[in-house]
């Protein structure tokens, strides 16, 4: 029996997260925009590309050349954000055998952990490409979540974190209507997560930084939204799923090291169940 529904930290019903790929120097400007607006995000890096001498251009934007972030710059540039994996060499994992998949993920992770100094548990599929075999391989390696490039245009949480579909790419024509819809959701509409992804070099290529500044300004610095990196959303959901409930549903035990928030079904009261504590509803 469950006498409650879930809330985000602080009793909020809305959360916002971002995910940006490839670890290029334009991330620095994007993170400045995030910081100005109190936002947090996840940056998915390729361990073999962490070198200031490496300059890339992308098939879609042949005129744009952007250098990669150097390993030595990672702690400073991504301070307060999450660094996650994106494949050591940005290979399409569908094309790899099991040993090569392990190599691509594990060596990337090892490199990123050496640079950041913390366990790197998140991942974003290079080219957004994956299949069931790749997903199971990642699960076996202890990867917590992996982001795809499939837009949901919705605000639900993923049923399967290893195929975590974002809400929308920042250049999708739906982004502003979705932003308005998200901001307009009433407080009693339940758990809503807005998840935006992209590449910061796209702002350089399209010269449309003001578009992202506008989106971030609209969504940022609001008390009713929880701003979190991908791994924080994942960890919080794990804490919720780990709650232990009595048979009558009135005793809730939080065995995790994170305070969690619930909405009491009957009274609509917001309740915090502190880390490691037992609460009677």
Which is closer to Zn ion, CB of 6 or CB of 201? 201
Taking the C-alpha atoms of residue 72 and residue 23, their distance in angstroms, rounded to an integer, is 13
Q: How far is the CB of 23 from Zn ion (least distance, A)?
A: 9
- Where on the chain is the footprint of Zn ion (CB under 5 A)? 21-22
- With contact defined as beta carbons under 8 Å apart, do 4 and 10 qualify? no
Q: How far is the CB of 189 from Zn ion (least distance, A)?
A: 33
CA proximity to 148, closest of 68, 44, 33: 44
Q: How far is the CB of 218 from Zn ion (least distance, A)?
A: 26
Which is closer to Zn ion, CB of 15 or CB of 83? 83
Taking the C-alpha atoms of residue 274 and residue 240, their distance in angstroms, rounded to an integer, is 12
Q: What is the largest CA-CA distance in the chain?
A: 64
Which is closer to Zn ion, CB of 22 or CB of 108? 22
Which is closer to Zn ion, CB of 22 or CB of 82? 22
- With contact defined as beta carbons under 8 Å apart, do 1 and 249 qualify? yes
Taking the C-alpha atoms of residue 138 and residue 114, their distance in angstroms, rounded to an integer, is 20
Residue with nearest beta carbon to Zn ion: 21
Q: How far is the CB of 158 from Zn ion (least distance, A)?
A: 20
Q: How far is the CB of 245 from Zn ion (least distance, A)?
A: 41
- With contact defined as beta carbons under 8 Å apart, do 106 and 43 qualify? no
Taking the C-alpha atoms of residue 84 and residue 27, their distance in angstroms, rounded to an integer, is 14
Rg (CA), the chain: 19
CA proximity to 172, closest of 195, 156, 190, 191: 195
Which is closer to Zn ion, CB of 35 or CB of 67? 67
Which is closer to Zn ion, CB of 68 or CB of 121? 68
Q: How far is the CB of 128 from Zn ion (least distance, A)?
A: 8
């Amino acid at each position: 029996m469950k006498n409650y529904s879930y809330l985000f930290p602080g009793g909020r019903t809305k959360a916002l997260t971002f995910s940006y790929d490839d670890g290029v120097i334009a991330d620095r400007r994007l993170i400045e925009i995030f910081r100005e607006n109190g936002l947090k995000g996840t940056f998915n890096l390729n361990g073999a590309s962490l070198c200031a001498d490496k300059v890339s251009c992308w098939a879609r934007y042949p005129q744009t050349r952007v250098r990669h972030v150097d390993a030595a710059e990672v702690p400073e540039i991504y301070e307060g954000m999450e660094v996650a994996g994106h494949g050591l060499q940005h290979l399409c994992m569908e094309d790899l055998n099991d040993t090569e998949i392990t190599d691509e993920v594990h060596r990337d992770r090892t490199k990123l952990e050496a640079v950041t100094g913390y366990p790197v548990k998140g991942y974003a599929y290079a080219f957004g490409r994956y299949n069931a075999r790749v997903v199971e391989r990642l699960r076996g390696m202890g990867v917590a979540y992996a982001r795809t490039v499939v837009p949901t245009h919705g605000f639900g949480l993923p049923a399967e974190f290893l195929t975590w579909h974002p809400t929308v790419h920042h250049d999708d024509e739906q982004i502003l209507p979705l932003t308005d819809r998200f901001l307009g959701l009433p407080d009693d509409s339940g758990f809503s997560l807005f998840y935006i992804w992209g590449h910061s070099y796209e702002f350089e290529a399209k010269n449309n930084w003001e578009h992202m500044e506008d989106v971030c300004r609209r969504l940022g610095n609001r008390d009713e939204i929880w701003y979190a990196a991908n791994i924080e959303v994942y960890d919080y959901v794990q804490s919720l799923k780990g709650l232990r409930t009595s048979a009558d549903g009135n005793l809730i035990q939080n065995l995790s090291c994170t305070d969690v928030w619930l909405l009491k079904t009957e009274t609509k009261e917001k309740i915090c169940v502190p880390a490691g504590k037992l609460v009677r509803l």
